[in-house]
Chains A and B, each alone.
Chain A
Amino acid sequence: MRRPVAVRVVGPLQWIVYPSLLALLATLILATPVTLFGLSLPEPVIPMVLAFAWPLIRPSILAPLALFVLGLMLDLLLYTPQGLWGLVLLCIYAAILLARNFLIGQETRVLFVWYTVAVLGAFFLAYVIVTIDAKRAPSLLALLGQVVPTLLIFPLADRLIQRFDDGDVRFR
């Protein structure tokens, strides 16, 4: 007699809602004013991980909407111009969605190169928008201080892709 196999249901709650909430929580925690040995906590833009991983897992209507909401929350938390992070995150999502056919199934190193390109492009866009808004170019050193931690959290994107890539065989 065959034993019943537990079917794992992977819905939007698992790969969109929970990661979004975790990203918000992590952003809130990293906003705590802590100074250790004269250094503050790093401030990566964690939702960039989701904007990169979600289109690779599968196309979705909910994901862009979630990114928009995440962007708005980031703007409110970080006091950036309203709409900035929403626009930037959606640009990453759109770019990766267009390149999806080339990227799915690629090994981690190739994905990291694409993630780096996407993050650099996103920060360049944010840099231009803030320069126009504030009529002053932000410091490049300060920009580097946010780009590097954002690149270093790529393993989270890779883990998300590995975890949910095969969640639905229709998108293989």
Chain B
Amino acid sequence: MAFRDGPFENLKVPLIWTAGLTVLVVLALSAFLLISQRRGDPEAQSAVRGASDQVSGGVGGVLAAPVRWVGAASDYVGDYFFAVSENRRLKAQVAELQAVADANIALQNINSRYEAMLGIRVEPPVPTQTARSISESRGPFARSRLIDVGTGQGVRIGNPVINEHGLVGRVVGTSSRVSRVLLVTDVSSRIPVLIDRTDARAMLSGDGSGNPRLEYVRGTDSVEVGDRVLTSGDGGGIPRGVPIGVVARGIDGSWRVKLFSDRGAIDFVKVLKFEDFGQLVDAEDLNAPPLAALDTAPAPSATEAAAITDGVTRRQNAQAGADQPAATPAQPPAGGPE
């Protein structure tokens, strides 16, 4: 029996009702998605997001290519017309920087001597991977970029990203050829920082604007306008000493940071393949009882058991031999001066 021949033949529902019902169902689905997902959590990095980044990265790369070509052509023309003035300016700059370079060599020499004398364990050099920015989101609710390197080039979630001026953000999602970088200005970004002048610690919190806030500043009068802000390395996520920006006062009176990375376009970036030494393989290991592994160790073989027994016997004999001469002087010799 066809549907239209049945009891629903004359049933007519206004279209606005069915549309309303669809809206309710899809609204519930959206709310469920919103509650079940967590942004910025590495474990919430879904395959869907990775695949989407891969596709939009490819499209973004195609769209960004003409922009780069125009920029390169403009630079070429500019270089041609302003070569003489640029050359004079650069010569003056080189003369100034020569003194700084000499001082830097001397300081490096002294620093390496101090490190050797004090026996400081220095951090190993961090390998880097250069990448190009291919897409970005700039809204108040999310500030991120797609870059054209991924797990295929050794990029991992958590790797810090810098440009030639300073810290840009950190990797929060990877696929084989494209990675998602959460900028330090994103509303969910938190970076532990230090004030270079006073060594005071603080937290750099993004709020979707161009200048992130400086919060939880330790100590009184430890921050002034113009102070340089660096990463503190606390927590082990980002190496210490990466430049971020200078302190400024926001229009709401809060401490904010003018980012060094804004001094130029973030076209090319470097991903620091920094191993997060603060991470544990399993957080539960901290709560494990002492010597818990003994329960899980395999039973010794006959050879191992014989070697252990032999070792214990030798140790006991050696202990007894060591105790014997120590006990002898305690007994007074017979026929002594008494």
Contacts and interface: CB of A to CB of B under 8 A. Distances in A.
Interface string B16-57: 101110110011011111110111000000001100110010
Contacts of A108: none
A32 B15 contact: no
Contact of A77 (B16, B52, B210, B265): B52
A126 interface: yes
A79 B60 CA distance: 15
A162 interface: no
Given A28-B56, A133-B39, A143 B140 contact: yes
Contacts of A78: 137, 139, 141-142, 144
Contacts of A153: none
B134 interface: yes
Interface residues of B, number: 53
Contacts of B176: none
A34 interface: yes
Which secondary structure dominates chain A's binding surface? helix
Nearest to B32: A83
B63 interface: yes
Contact of A43 (B30, B53, B137): B137
B217 interface: no
B20 A138 contact: no
Contact of B39 (A58, A67, A80, A127): A80
B30 to A, nearest CB: 4
A88 B64 CA distance: 29
A56 interface: no
Contacts of B26: 64-65, 67-68, 86, 90
Interface in A73-107: 73, 76-84, 86-87, 90-91, 93-94, 97, 100
Contact of B60 (A31, A72, A73): A31
Given A78-B139, A90-B23, A33 B64 contact: yes
B111 interface: no
Contacts of B187: 130, 134, 136, 138
Contact of B34 (A31, A65, A82, A141): A82
B158 interface: no
A139 B139 contact: no
A90 to B, nearest CB: 5
A163 B47 CA distance: 39
Contact of B20 (A31, A97, A142): A97
Interface string B293-318: 00000000000000000000000000
B188 interface: yes
B67 interface: yes
Contact of B209 (A58, A59, A142): A142
B137 A31 contact: yes
B276 interface: no
19 contacts: A33-B136, A33-B145, A45-B139, A55-B19, A64-B23, A68-B30, A71-B30, A80-B142, A82-B33, A83-B31, A86-B30, A86-B33, A90-B26, A90-B30, A93-B23, A136-B207, A139-B140, A142-B209, A145-B139
Interface of B: 15-16, 18-20, 22-23, 26-27, 29-35, 37-39, 48-49, 52-53, 56, 59-60, 63-64, 67, 133-142, 144-145, 180, 182, 187-188, 205, 207-210, 265-267
